[in-house]
Amino acid sequence: MIPPSLRLLPVIVPFTMLPSLSPAADPPLAEERPHRLSVHGVEWTDDYFWLREREDPAVRAHLEAENAYLEAVLAPLKELRATLVAEMKARLIEEDVSVPYRKGDWFYYSREVAGKEHSLICRKPWRSDEAGDLLAPAAPGEEVVVLDLNERAGGDAAYGFGGGAVSPDGRLYAWKENRDGTDRYTLRLRDLESGAILPDEIEGPVFDEAPVWALDNRTLYYTEGDDTDRSWRVRRHRLGESPDEAEVVYEELDARYSVDLSPTKSGRFLLISSSSKDTNEISRLSLADPGAAPQGFLPREEGIRHAFADCGDQWFILTNEGAVNGRLFRAPLDNPAREAWVEVLPGDESIAYDSVEAFESAVVLGARKDGVPGFFLLDPGKGTVKWVTSPSEGGWVATGSTPEYTAKAQRFSYETFVQPYTVAEADLATGEIRILKQKAAPPGYDPAKYRVEHTFATASDGTKLPVWLLLPADHARDGSGAILLDGYGAYGIANDPWFSSHLFSLVDRGIGFAIAQVRGGGEFGRPWYEAGKQERKPTTFTDYIACAEHLTAGGWCAKDRLAGTGASAGGLLAGAVLNERPDLFAAFVANVPFVDVLNTMLDASLPLTTGEYEEWGDPADSRIVFGRIHAYSPYDNVGISAYPPILALAGWNDNRVPYWEAAKWVAKLRVLNTGPTPPLLHTAFETGHGGASGRYRELDEIALQYAFLIHHLRR
């Protein structure tokens, strides 16, 4: 037996004690089946195209052989992997409750239970908004379990909760769930008074977006996917009727656009947004009228994006018209025509607005100010504006669920590399911040053991690129250390520091973690994003290389102790960078990597392809676009080169980045890599793009990656 006082202490295995990896049997070599392709007069052969044939038994057999080979190669690290799982599990907060939020006569919250993979969604009666009532545990017999996600999961490794919504009268709950890791969900309903699950069951909704109730408490709106999983329709379902009778309320025929929906905070309107990466068109529909038809605000205009929120008798409109990072207008509720708009806040190059939401007494604008995430509070009557951000520098900030239209404060959350997840609220009138709850620190956590640094690399064109580092407190700047560098740089998504107790399993072993904030992301608004997309996509890769070189030149790590990691579109970055500069890295982890870019973007039948044209371009439509994607597509540019050790991970049910992208990439690397270490591939057959969904199950996947990195970064 281990004494209780020692159970939570990590067992650190020094690099010098790690076993060597001896070559296992010869690695699997995928059969070469030449597949001829021709586009714009260009002809080429793809030898591993056949790995896309999911129904071919040889495909599954090859992937299983890859998994077996990986386990054989990493067998000496079995004890390390088990140790990593144990120490990460020991850092989990086994029992926890989220900060409740009010909706109607109830407080809603989620609760973690020791030993359970998933949360319980619960509610308790609302008494007041005072902190004492908000944070107090439910009185005996008062807690209602809205949904036990563990019961719903039934042990499925990829179970996914796709969002839920309670009816306006608080009696019914509608939610979406998925069991295979794809983006297709089933919509179900529960009577919260009896606990019974209603017979209404709707197949076809896509993505993790909650359904929306009309005010009659029996009409639901949801989005439906087409054959490529593009969200293209809004349907209206009335309880008790057959799902086949659900009325199509809105339909988007342009394959570049996807549809999403959300209710305004007032509950008066449903907003339907049809959006591409660069353009959107928004309609509103009265939730008071279950038979209402949507009304468009403005016809779509290429490159123009709007967001609307109703506040009292006015609409507030956030738009990029005439301001690349956005500006704010107002218009009468009964006349939102463009000629009725009055500017409230002009554009500002240092401020990038990204959302607008309205309470009865204030408008909230999500934004980044000089690269710092936060939000503005606008008093519509006084015209005053207050900026709110995290009290702690260097992390992410997000507005949280505050559904009551009459609320007096905006909920928000934040965290940093060394500060756990914190929930606070900002007074809508004064901007004063009140901390509601900081998630408990992991058992044994001592922030004095770590330090955070913020540095800037210089891109080839002189642009300063932020790099955030989480380091051991005694990490030397003499070139002897090790660093894992994360990168993403796509879709205008900001990659801000976050708190992860799992990372301490690396940092406690002397491996620092760094985030490269490269162009293509959204850290500094739309111009930062557009500097790394379409024809400027290679800027993302050269930015990441500049950050890597900055870390070695600045002594944060030795040249032979720098590893990289990237997931999804960050996996595209990984593949492109490895083709260009394989010498920079001692190892690389590519998680569900988007590496077969050219073939994917040439196949409009695949999920998400058509919606990605504005991000990467349409190579079938343009010879120029074809040429530029071909020039960087990682799979197409694997060459005879000494690649570092690579671990690629794929999900069999991944419909965003299909398993075959990683499988084809590794197959080609196996043949052309002249380095001493064959790449490794692991395919999770039960999961999709997000991997295992349970908080314990995911630890095995993380431990696999960490053990691989620890081994290759040792001295």
Task: Report the distance separating Cα 578 and Cα 644, nearest Å.
Answer: 8
φ, ψ (nearest 5 deg) of residue 615: -90, -45
* Residue with the two structure tokens 């620092």: 512
Task: Report the distance separating Cα 648 and Cα 662, nearest Å.
Answer: 6
Give counts: helices (H), strands (E), the chain.
13, 39
CA distances from 17 to 372, 706, 710, 711 (A): 42, 16, 12, 10
Q: Six-digit token pair at 581? A: 């500069």
Task: Report the distance separating Cα 349 and Cα 525, nearest Å.
Answer: 9
Task: Report the distance separating Cα 153 and Cα 180, nearest Å.
Answer: 11
* Amino acid identity for residue 74 in this structure: L
Outline where DSSP puts E strands in 278-407.
Answer: 280-286, 295-296, 306-311, 314-319, 327-332, 342-345, 351-358, 363-369, 372-378, 385-389, 395-399
Query: Containing H/E element for 540?
Result: helix 538-553
Judge whether 310 and 380 are in contact, CB under 8 Å.
no
* Residue with the two structure tokens 């002189």: 462
DSSP secondary structure letters along 30-86: PPP--EEEEETTEEEEETTGGGG-TT-HHHHHHHHHHHHHHHHHTGGGHHHHHHHHH
Return all residues near 327 (Cβ < 8 A) that are at least 6 apart. Answer: 318, 319, 320, 321, 343, 345, 346, 347, 353
Is residue 568 annotated as a catalytic residue, yes or no?
A: yes
Judge whether 222 and 205 are in contact, CB under 8 Å.
yes
* Amino acid identity for residue 393 in this structure: E
Judge whether 200 and 206 are in contact, CB under 8 Å.
no
Which is the catalytic residue, given 183, 486, 543, 654?
654
Task: Report the distance separating Cα 199 and Cα 188, nearest Å.
Answer: 8
Task: Report the distance separating Cα 295 and Cα 514, nearest Å.
Answer: 47
Provide the 3-class DSSP secondary structure of residue 469: strand
Judge whether 507 and 514 are in contact, CB under 8 Å.
no
Assign residue 253 a region (left: φ > 0; alpha: ψ between -120 and 50; beta: otherwise).
alpha
Judge whether 188 and 201 are in contact, CB under 8 Å.
yes
Q: Where are the alpha helices (DSSP H) in 633-674?
A: 659-672
Which is the catalytic residue, given 689, 693, 711, 712?
689
Provide the 3-class DSSP secondary structure of residue 90: helix
* Amino acid identity for residue 571 in this structure: G
Judge whether 366 and 377 are in contact, CB under 8 Å.
no
In the sheet that 342-345 helps form, which strands lie side by side, from edge to edge?
A: 306-311, 314-319, 327-332, 342-345
Judge whether 472 and 449 are in contact, CB under 8 Å.
yes
DSSP secondary structure letters along 96-162: EEPPPEEETTEEEEEEE-TT-SS-EEEEEE---SSHHHHHSPPPTTT-EEEEEHHHHHTT-TT-EEE
Provide the 3-class DSSP secondary structure of residue 665: helix
Task: Report the distance separating Cα 317 and Cα 320, nearest Å.
Answer: 10
Would you name the residues annotated as active-site residues? Answer: 568, 654, 689
